[in-house]
A and B are shown apart, each in its own frame.
Chain A
Amino acid sequence: GAVVSQHPSRVICKSGTSVKIECRSLDFQATTMFWYRQFPKKSLMLMATSNEGSKATYEQGVEKDKFLINHASLTLSTLTVTSAHPEDSSFYICSARELADSYNEQFFGPGTRLTVL
């Protein structure tokens, strides 16, 4: 099946710094990528949807200036957590979908564990 990678898998940073997380589709072109946040023992919360070449669509309550998303190519999307604070510590997961139709499954990355000290 299709493979999605995330880098880094784990990151620890100091409060106030910015962290960039990369999501890559390795063997297919992803027209749409999704960014999720998962709290311990909780479900995935959709943060934003990004389509290649256009601005990301953020879900209600997600600060677009804090969570910067760039989908510059059909194989790469990045999430930058700006001025990170301890409450931003979480498991961030991206997924990629090849086509725009609803039947097309998402392929998930392995996730990035962010810890803000």
Chain B
Amino acid sequence: AQSVTQLDSHVSVSEGTPVLLRCNYSSSYSPSLFWYVQHPNKGLQLLLKYTSAATLVKGINGFEAEFKKSETSFHLTKPSAHMSDAAEYFCVVSLESGGSYIPTFGRGTSLIVHP
């Protein structure tokens, strides 16, 4: 069975400081991995996705994530937080199940950015 663990329910940073949102997965096979962001009362937006082409993936709004197979991790980072980054972030793993690719969501990490 596949699963995805977001280790922190909340992460609090000051504006201008680095952001690290952690995600670990368990899977018997190489999964597809995604990070989505959800702003309050809004739908979900794709930040980036890992498709096995490169282990370091660059996304929108200055975010990037590195796939580390040995650590089964796909942590999301950003060098400098902006107030507009405050939102809920979801790590998603997608793996084949019964002929379909089913996405599994992590519990989410709430990013709080202080001025």
Within 8 A of A (CB), among B46-80: 46, 49, 51-52
Tell me how far the C-beta of B100 lies from the nearest C-beta in chain A, rounded to whole angstroms.
6
Number of interface residues of B (CB under 8 A): 27
Cβ of A111: which chain B residues have Cβ within 8 Å of it? 43
Cβ of A43: which chain B residues have Cβ within 8 Å of it? 90, 105-108
Q: Which secondary structure dominates where chain B touches chain A?
A: strand
Cβ of A36: which chain B residues have Cβ within 8 Å of it? 105
Number of interface residues of A (CB under 8 A): 27
Structural contact, B100 and A32, CB atoms closer than 8 A: yes
Cβ of B49: which chain A residues have Cβ within 8 Å of it? 103, 105
On B, residues with C-beta under 8 Å from A are 31-32, 34, 36, 42-46, 49, 51-52, 90, 94-96, 98, 100-108, 110
Known interface pairs A102-B101, A108-B36, A110-B42; 9 further A-B residue pairs with C-beta atoms within 8 A, sorted by A's residue number: A1-B46, A44-B90, A102-B31, A102-B96, A103-B52, A106-B34, A106-B103, A107-B46, A109-B43
